[in-house]
Structure 1
Amino acid sequence: MSRYRQMTVFQHIVETGSITKAADRLGLSKSVVSQHLKQLELDLGVTLLTRTTRKQHLTVVGDAFFQQCCLMRTIADNAWQDAQNQQQVPQGTITVTASNAVMDYLVIPALTDCFRTFPAVKFDLRSDDGKTDLIQEGIDLAIRVGESPSSNLKQRKIGQFRDVLCGHKTLSEGPIEQQAYIAHHWQHDKIHHMVTRKVNVSYEEEVVESTLSYDFIATHRTNNYHACLGLLKQSAGIGILPEFIFQQHQMDLVDLLPHYQLAQSNVYALHAYHGGMPVTVSMAIAAITDRLATLAIQEQ
């Protein structure tokens, strides 16, 4: 029987004036409440209450103990209220991990806009193209491209985007398959791209195929989009970039298949909260979701 439970029951007995009334308030039987009091006095080795058929009186020790019980309850209530208040007001550090591209173009703009008016919120942002262990690393939220294997983490799709097969405007002419291919670290040595014809676009007569397939062998490799973008801008080959990045560099790069599009890539939010998610995390997910939706509209 916990000490806190015993002290709470004792406090109710004193406040209500009787064991019977305390039992009614607590929703317990009279015998259970009486047993709580008896066990408490046995554990303490003192008498807290003297009782007659009509009245009960606190002993000197009982009165002092009652004051401490009231203080304990106030502290507990304040702790409970503070925890609930922190759940409602954005504050503290939120730790987010994402790939370099997603961090730069999705997470950072979304978070800064979302929490601009909440100076008590601090960011711990970790750009990582690997698969970080959220629980072990103490990470609140991961934004990942593609569905992750089943685990104890909560996973929710929050949007999608498309990659663009692109190259520099000065790229030498010739079949696309003969160009050097700049592969990302997550792509295999042999790369296969299938594209589908865009809808609601005017086509020349020779554009009749609904799907096209291309196969490449990786020439260059990079472990982040910065390096891939740098090679593309130096005409070192062709490669894919998320459309939201490609749109920012159309002064240098061109879509090599303007009438076709690659399949969509789904974006997921992952976290380890199974209940009582911090308000900062729920706000961050909503903000990143909105950012993805806004970019999708801009790309249409």
Structure 2
Amino acid sequence: MDRLHAMRVFTRIVELGSFTRAADDLSLPRATLTHTIKRLEEHVGAHLLQRTTRRVRPTRDGEVYYNHCLRLLADLDAVEADFREAAVVPKGRLRIDLASSLACQLLIPALPEFFARYPQIELDIGTSDRFIDLVQEGVDCVLRAGELPDSAMVGRRVARMSQATVASVDYVRRHGMPQTLADLQHGHRTVNWASPTTRRTSPLDFMVGRRLREVPLPSSVTVSGTEAYLGCCEAGLGIAQFPRYRIADALAQGRLVELLPSMPPPALPVTVLYQSQKHLPLRLRVFIDWVAELLRDLP
């Protein structure tokens, strides 16, 4: 007896509730299914199915055996899929949505290397910082920085980015260089960042040792786009906090100065979100792996 074949027959009968429907689905004679189940029950030493005039249901032992079969067959399918895909060239179209600053500064400049490695993958790229409903909008995956709200999506963390608190040279000339968190409460202002999804603003965050300290400051301007956030900071409208990669040039060129470097903001997680699936399409899997590899050496 082919035990794997018998398990597949058994699980299909349970799922369809009928020998006849399972036989049609598997393109096998009904008598073959009956014989297979009889041999399987003899092999495991238990009565697995109970038959009524309308439906076939698993017995208590059958329910236990059915759940074991599902796990075993899923594991086998996953292993075989991995070996099949190893010999297949990743190809096809991916629709992705990237956090705008990550896209423009890190991912898009590196895409020639990605396409050299995977020439048969086509990318349809959107750039935004808002919440994306992958199912409704037909998006395969999104890349976001920061803590994300709970969702039914699967998240793979691919990086943690160090951050810095900065202000323009003109701002520091007018308001002074703070030396402590208490100094911030006397005459300093911030550029408010509002979530593109909820429009909620957040205070400035500082790590004092292992303790997170939040410092709310007054503000004259609130923005929800990364370019506007940076522009307002460089214009001297207030203090802001950025991933270091985003402001490396501005710091090197003297447009911005770092404040309170001994108390930096907490590291910012970077996550790829995608729909929960048993087997990711190979093109999506290699793209996520490439993003993780690309961002692995961020500061």
TM surpasses 0.5: yes
What is the CA–CA distance in structure 1 between the aligned matches of 2:266 and 2:111, rounded to whole Å? 27
Counterpart position of 2:230 = 229
Q: Is residue 193–residue 214 contact of structure 1 (8 Å, CA) maintained in 2? A: yes
Give ranges in structure 1 of 5+ residues lacking alignment.
10-18, 33-80, 199-209
SS at match of 1:216: coil
Offset at residue 128 of structure 1 (A): 1.7
Partner of 1:180: 189
Q: Distance in 2 between matches of 1:27 and 1:103?
A: 58
- How far the C-alpha of 1:277 sits from its partner, in A, is 0.8
| Separation in 1, partners of 2:130, 2:147 | 14
Q: Secondary structure at the match of 1:88?
A: coil
Equivalent position amino acid for 2:153 in 1:
L
Structure 1 residue 139: deviation in Å?
1.0
Is residue 204–residue 214 contact of structure 2 (8 Å, CA) maintained in 1?
A: yes
State the partner residue of 2:5.
Answer: none
Aligned residue pairs, count: 221
CA contact (8 A) 1:110 1:287 kept: no
Measure how far apart 1:190 and its partner are. Answer: 6.3
The share of aligned pairs that are identical, in percent, is 19
How far the C-alpha of 1:195 sits from its partner, in A, is 3.1
* Matched-pair contact (CA < 8 Å) for 1:189–1:218: no
Shift of 1:244: 1.0
User: What does residue 286 of structure 2 align with?
Assistant: 283
Q: Is 1:267 matched with 2:270?
A: yes
Question: Of the candidates 260, 270, 285, which is equivalent to residue 257 of structure 1?
Answer: 260
SS, match of residue 191 in structure 2: strand
**Within the alignment, does 1:96 sit opposite 2:108 as a pair?**
no
List per-residue Cα deviations over 1:212-255 (Å, max 9, x = no partner): 76331232122211112222222232211211101132211111
1:138 matched residue in structure 2: 138
CA 1:140–1:112: 2 relative to 1, 3 Å: farther
Match of 1:41 in 2: none
Match of 2:215 in 1: 214
Q: Residues 215 and 152 from structure 1, CA distance in 2 versus in 1: closer, same or farther, beyond 3 angstroms? A: closer
**Residue of structure 1 in register with 2:72 after alignment:** none
Which one has a larger percent strand, Structure 1 or Structure 2? 1
Are 1:194 and 2:206 matched, yes or no? yes
Give 1:89 shift. 1.4
Distance (Å, rounded) in 1 between the aligned partners of 2:86 and 2:286: 14
Tell me the SS of whatever aligns to 1:181: coil
Determine the C-alpha separation between the residues in 2 that align with 1:4 and 1:87.
30
Aligned to 1:239: 240
Partners of 2:229 and 2:113 in 1: how far apart? 28
| C-alpha displacement of 1:260 | 2.5
Contact 1:190/1:216, CA 8 A, preserved across alignment: no
Tell whether the 8 Å contact from 2:165 to 2:241 is kept in structure 1 after alignment. Answer: yes
Aligned residues of 1:167 and 1:255 also touching (Cα < 8 A): yes
Which residue number corresponds to residue 157 of structure 2? Answer: 157
Q: Distance in 2 between matches of 1:4 and 1:275?
A: 22
Amino acid of the residue matched to residue 135 of structure 1?
V
Q: Which has the larger radius of gyration?
A: 1
Whichever residue aligns with residue 121 of structure 1, its letter is I
Equivalent-residue separation in structure 1 for 2:290 and 2:86 (angstroms): 19
Judging changes above 3 Å, is the alpha-carbon distance between structure 1 residues 139 and 235 closer, same or farther for their aligned structure 2 residues?
same
1:144-178 CA-to-partner distances (Å, cap 9, x unmatched) read: 22343443321222221133211112322435532
Q: 1:248-268 deviations in whole A, cap 9, x for unaligned?
A: 322111111223211112222
TM-score (normalised: structure 2): 0.62
- Number of the residue aligned with 1:129: 129
Q: Give the Cα–Cα distance (whole angstroms) in 2 for the partners of residues 213 and 5 of structure 1.
A: 61
SS in 1 for 2:277: coil
Two-structure CA RMSD over aligned residues (Å) = 3.6
Aligned counterparts of 1:147 and 1:239: Cα–Cα separation in 2: 18
Contact 2:205 2:212 in 1 (8 A): no
**What is the SS of the residue equivalent to 2:152?**
coil
Q: 1:96 to 1:110 in 2, by over 3 A?
A: farther
Q: Please say if residues 191 and 218 of structure 1, whose CA atoms lie closer than 8 Å, have aligned partners that are also in contact.
A: no
